[in-house]
Amino acid sequence: ARICPRILMKCKKDSDCLAECICEEHGFCG
């Protein structure tokens, strides 16, 4: 499993997100 803090963060690309979160299609990290 990826390490991804459960924090709602808007993003445009994966590098906008914390830890191993990825930028999902709805525009938020997950």
Domain ranges of the chain: 1-30
11 in Cβ contact with 29 (< 8 Å): yes
Please tell me the predicted confidence (pLDDT) of residue 5.
97
Topology adopted by domain 1-30? R-elafin (4.10.75)
Count of beta carbons in the 10 Å neighbourhood of residue 21: 20
Please tell me the predicted confidence (pLDDT) of residue 3.
98
Q: Is 8 helix (H, G, I), strand (E, B) or coil?
A: coil
| Euclidean distance between CA atoms 26 and 5, whole angstroms | 17
Q: How far apart are the first and last CA of the chain?
A: 12
User: What are 1-30's pLDDT values in tens digits?
Assistant: 899 999 999 999 999 999 999 999 999 999
